[in-house]
Amino acid sequence: MLAVFGAGGALYGVDALAAANDHSASKSVLVLGDSLSAEYGLARGAGWVALLQKRLLAQKISLDVVNASISGETTSGGYARLPALLKQNPNIVIIELGANDALRGLQLKSTESNLRAMITAVQKTNAKVLLVGMRIPPNYGRDYSDKFFGLYSEVAKQSKVPVVPFLLEGVADKPQWFQADRIHPVAEAHPIMLNNVWQELQPLIKTMLSGSK
């Protein structure tokens, strides 16, 4: 199984946040992720986050998508940036982080603690949370790999939030769907990734649009 790694910056997080400021009354989805969500190695607009916005528009769902993802981001980095992002008052926050923690050999307790803290911070604003799970290669040790994968469902269960079990489900076992680094998916794989997220996101959107937030 493959996971995220790399360096770079948010593709359009800053622009999107500025736009969100100008349209503060509109409802929004904030994506806080790493290179899998930041369109690493892809043409702008080809990643699953951009495809999500297109799907919402096609379905006439009035919901802005704010991509605050950064390649190489860890859970600690995401947690540090979250307070400023929450000032934009997102209605739904998608957290797609953790793989870089594992690839750097960070303790799972730290990753788990950061994910819980992020979820708690979002819930305090009454926004809804969707946690996105990942896997790491078994060469990091079967025990470590299994526990890393399992922590997402455990955190989601205890925090009472939905979880996408594995963002790269249906992609990870297809080598032809990865860039030369064999880590980051090519554009053709991102519709599959979006579908994986959409299964859990769609019910949240319906609930949010029918409620107060």
Give the helix/strand (H/E) hosting 22. helix 13-22
- Residue 98 neighbours by CB under 8 Å, 6+ apart: 75, 111, 115, 133, 134, 148, 151, 152
Marked catalytic residue, from 35, 37, 71, 145 = 35
Known catalytic residue at 35: yes
Known catalytic residue at 173: no
Known catalytic residue at 15: no
Marked catalytic residue, from 15, 146, 173, 181 = 181
Structure tokens at 187: 């554009």
Fill in the amino acid letter for 152. Answer: Y
Marked catalytic residue, from 64, 71, 184, 190 = 184
- Residue 145 neighbours by CB under 8 Å, 6+ apart: 1, 102, 135, 136, 137, 138
Q: Which residues are catalytic?
A: 35, 181, 184
